Structures are given as C-alpha cells and as structure tokens.
Amino acid sequence: MEITPQIIEQCKVGNQQAYSQIYESCARGVFSSIVRIVKNKEEAEDLLQETFISAFQNISKFRLESSLFGWIKKIGINKSLNSIKKRKLDWSEREIENISIVEEDEQWENIELEVSKVIDKMSLLPEGYRVVISLFLFEGYSHKEISEQLQISESTSKSQYVRGKKKLRELLLN
C-alpha cells in the first residue's frame, strides 16, 4: 500500500486508520533493519513498537521532503544503535593493516549468495561485526556515519567490517 501525503496528514490529526495503514506499510521493512542490528527477535519486536510510538508522537515534525518509510526506518535504526550502546560492546580499536579490499572481493566470486543464507549466517557473527556490516551493506551508512553513531573510530568501523566480511565468508563456505 502506498503511503500518500493524505494518509500522513490524517495521521498528523490522530486518525487511527491512518496509523494502521502506515504501520502495515512500513513495519516489515523496519523490523528487518532492526533485527539485523540487534539479532534478538524479542528485542527487535520491542524496538519496533518503540519506533512506531516515537514516529507517531513526532509525526508532526515529518516533512514530505523525504520518504516516510525512510524516516521511520532511521528512527528504528537509531533505537537499535542506542540499545547496542547500552550493552557496552567492546570494540576492537586495532587499525587496519595492509588489507587489500580488491583481493578480498575476489575471494567472494566462488560463493553462491542467497539473501536468506547470508542473513542466517550473519546472525552467527559477533555483534560488532554484524552491526557494522548491517549498517554499511544493508542500510547504506558510510564508515564515518557508523563511527559517529557507535562512538567508535572510523578505522574501527572499517576493521570490524573487513573482519566481519572475512568471518561471514568462512561461515558461508561451511
């Protein structure tokens, strides 16, 4: 279902049907982003509810300059990242040393990739790797944005990404 400006305006004035239409249109995609970050389904469900509560409470601030789905998804990602930060995840501060991205990318050529298999194997990654890979690959964040969101250095984001991709490749080959 398409979310029209009229539905958004109805939501802004408290129309329950508009709330339902927006939730039904966006919840699945937002949930996918959240669960990739936090891994735990129950926590992701709680964060999804918090996301929509926050979105609906702040719907008057939404401007039609961007997509409503993107706006709500960003709220969900931020709530997920806040949840991760509360766990005080231990980020390795080691710098990337002589990692050749080109050589590493060539190692992926012989792996048959299915989205469901990749997502399944990603759930087995250590949290730091999984979070950075999710934000970088699936959500389109830059390493600079990831470092700001997670309060880590840009090099830590890059090293978590490279190490995570290496570990994911090993998991996919097994």
> What was the pLDDT predicted at 8?
93
> What was the pLDDT predicted at 32?
93
| Alpha carbon distance 161, 165 (integer Å) | 6
> What was the pLDDT predicted at 93?
46
| Alpha carbon distance 162, 48 (integer Å) | 29
> What was the pLDDT predicted at 46?
95
Residues 6+ apart with CB under 8 A from 91: 128, 150, 152, 156, 160
> What was the pLDDT predicted at 39?
86
101-173 under CATH 3.30.450.20, yes or no: no
Domain boundaries, the chain: 5-86, 101-173
The CATH number of the domain covering residues in 5-86: 1.10.1740.10
> What was the pLDDT predicted at 65?
83
> What was the pLDDT predicted at 88?
64
Residues of the chain with pLDDT under 50: 93-105, 107-108, 110
Say if residues 62 and 121 touch (Cβ distance below 8 Å): no
| Alpha carbon distance 53, 59 (integer Å) | 10
Q: Is 168 exposed, middle or buried (0-12, 13-18, 19+ CB in 10 A)?
A: buried
> What was the pLDDT predicted at 94?
44
Helix intervals (H) in the chain: 5-12, 16-38, 41-57, 68-86, 101-106, 115-122, 127-133, 143-150, 154-173
> What was the pLDDT predicted at 31?
96
Give the rounded distance of the alpha carbon of 124 from its chain centre. Answer: 16
> What was the pLDDT predicted at 20?
95
> What was the pLDDT predicted at 97?
43
